[in-house]
Structure 1
Amino acid sequence: MLTYPHQVLVTGGAGFIGSHTVERLLQENFRVRVLDNLSTGRLSNLPTHPLLDVVIGDIRSVDDVQAAMKGVTHCLHLAAQVSVTSSVEDPVGSATHNILGALNVMHAASMARVHKLVYASSAAVYGIPAQLPLSEEATLQPLSPYGLEKWVDERYAALLGSLHGLPSLGLRYFNVYGPRQDPNSPYAGVIARFLDRLLSLQPPLVFGDGLQSRDFVYVGDIARANVAALLSPRCGVCNVATGQQIDLLGLIDLLGQLTHCHLAPQHLPAKAEDIRDSCGNNQRLSEWLTIEPKWTLAEGLSELIRYVSPTHDYVNEPTRLNA
């Protein structure tokens, strides 16, 4: 197979989503440069590969970003402060990463005349939905600084497109889960935390009544969407979602079936910044990027359990949807 004539810069490439995407890019013979400050990412997440170049640096540094952008044809911007709670507790610090850092990357990409910028947005931009599933045309009413920051990123990307011709596509990720998501990190998703407690024979901690619902997307499907977006001519914003939702009590029950660990959850007071229900319309994902999510929730959870606890006994072997 011939090497693609593309050099892709992946900011945050040593992190959870970034490392899975880097692996997929390398599998398809892209040349990849990772820029990561290793605050949450790990070098151990990345393979040793002749097409991979790793640069230790920070998106908040103009010099680091401009140096990493040299010779790049495409950019995937994933580096961010991704904790909603942290954004509420420290909105200035969060904005420094998610607005100023993102603008630094976008400006450098614009000046470097990259062929395509793809950046991570979030379902958090929607806030409380008027109806489900959420389409990209839904009203945006973020409830947290994190959601607002991602909305600002979208506006900056659109503006730089108008001013400098920067072609960009923002991917509004819904709830991502999978291997390499650290359950002990403040950035961890609810699935990683639930599974960690179940395998430790501790009850899962649920904020509120547990009937809040989410659209969970396996990280392998996120990586597929990222690569497709880099090569797509489409610009604007696009949901990355399954179009399916499950409430947290149902999720705990499913995890219990897969792990043989049936423990009743411990309920804690609800968080004010939490959105009650979320589910994404993935029609644009299908039409623009010509991909469909192929991992069922049951199989994605099983893959995660195998990664976290390779010797664990399973109730069943869910079947993955065809590619």
Structure 2
Amino acid sequence: MTKILLTGGCGFIGSNLAPMLIQHGCDVTIFDNFSKGDVSYLPEREKFKIIEADIADEDAVYNAAKGVDAIIHLAALGSVVESVANPEENFASNAEGTFNVLNAARRARIKRFVFASTGGAIMGNATPPVNELSLPKPISPYGASKMAGEGYCSAFSAAYGMNITALRFANVIGPISAHKKGAITVFIRALMNNAPLTIFGDGKATRDFLFVSDLCKGILLALQKNKPGFNVFHLASGEEVSVEQLARTICKIAGKPEHEIKFENKRKGEVERNFADYTKAKEVLGFSPSVKLNDALKITWDWFLENEGPGT
């Protein structure tokens, strides 16, 4: 039984990933400060050991890591907009926090490490589709913090003989995402409250959306593959979708195709166009997303309706 330490395991991705790890025979310890996540997000929470602590506390991470076989590091502040407003907090959580987790892994002699990076934010306004050979040019503190994390992953792998995989996530959607700050959550809540959908910019900005179960399968594949050295993979759908197209699709799914959409000034730090080529992940890891965007949005909409209901 593989023993896993999962940081941020009570957040959106972690609470979807943790049960999948259990299903694959892993013994999972969750490390979370509950600033974003919640134990209630976890199904069958009795199957997990849960440690309430912060990745800012390296000794706490080290004590949690002793005796485990691998670390999956998800804990982070993930909002581009919030990183622009408060770059110090973002740096402390994402750059310094990742260093702390890596250093705890080094001290505990853990050789397998999976790091949750980002696709669009780290690439900036690179010409899409981006891949692992594209030059990262972050335009937000969030993107820069993830680039710093990748830099330390590369350095720790080379200096201490660790097998570290950095996974650059597309925009992830799916159940248990009510606390996640992003377009999908904002659009769905506006629809449930009969409020206008607000798009920042002209709506032509594009993103790459990946259903959370597909993402979790990619994380599991990276863990199982345990590629030697430091490796980077994009986990994405490979499909470019405009923000306006996304909004209109959600309106149709909600049964409100004529719902009002308004446009506001573009926000700083947000990438204009982005989608990724996941060929490398497919060839090396066997990664292949299976849930189409319309299905992913329908499942997410239904989850919000069931858990929050109209008028929340």
Contact 2:70 2:112 in 1 (8 A): yes
Match of 1:128 in 2: 125
Distance 1:113 1:159 in 2: 16
Which consecutive residues of structure 2, in runs of 5 or more, have no partner in the other structure?
none
Q: Which residue of the partner structure matches residue 28 of structure 2? A: 32
- Of the three residues 252, 257, 271, the one matched with 2:252 is 257
**Per-residue deviation, residues 203-250 of structure 1 (Å, max 9, x unmatched):** 111001111111001111111111111111324111010100111111
SS in 2 for 1:64: helix
Q: Which residue of 1 aligns with 2:90?
A: 94
Q: TM-score, normalised by structure 2?
A: 0.94
- Letter aligned with residue 192 of structure 2: L
The whole-number CA distance in structure 1 between the counterparts of 2:174 and 2:39 is: 18
Query: Post-superposition shift, 1:310?
Result: 3.5
Alpha-carbon distance in 1 for matches of 2:234, 2:5: 22
- Taking the TM superposition and a 5 Å limit, the aligned residue runs for 1:8-47 are 8-47=4-43
CA deviation after TM superposition for structure 1 residue 173, in Å: 0.5
2:175 match: 179
2: CA distance, partners of 1:116 / 1:146: 25
Give 1:189's aligned residue. 182
Q: CA separation in 2, counterparts of 1:134 and 1:274?
A: 16
Aligned length: 304
Tell me, yes or no, if the aligned pair for 2:2 and 2:25 is still in contact at 8 Å.
no
> Is the aligned partner of 1:275 residue 2:268?
no
> Counterparts of 1:254 and 1:12 in 2: how far apart (Å)?
31
Alignment of structure 1 residues 98-247 onto 2, 5 Å: 98-123=94-119, 124-129=121-126, 131-182=127-178, 185=179, 187-234=180-227, 235-247=230-242
Q: Please give the alpha-carbon distance, in whole angstroms, between the structure 2 residues aligned to 1:50 and 1:91.
A: 36
CA contact (8 A) 1:29 1:51 kept: no
Name the aligned partner's letter for residue 119 of structure 1: F
Q: TM-score, normalised by structure 1?
A: 0.91
Q: Which residue identity is paired with 2:268?
A: A
Gap regions ≥5 residues in structure 1? 313-323
Q: Deviations over 1:174-216 (max 9, x none)?
A: 111111112xx5x512111111111221111100111111100
Q: Which runs of 4+ in 1 moved over 2 A?
A: 47-51
1:48 is displaced (CA, Å) by 2.9
Q: Which moved more, 1:258-267 or 1:162-171?
A: 258-267
Distance 2:256 2:306 in 1: 16
Secondary structure of 1:309 counterpart: helix
Tell me, in whole angstroms, the C-alpha distance in 2 between the residues paired with 1:151 and 1:200: 37
Q: Which has the higher contact order (CA 8 A, sep 6+)?
A: 2
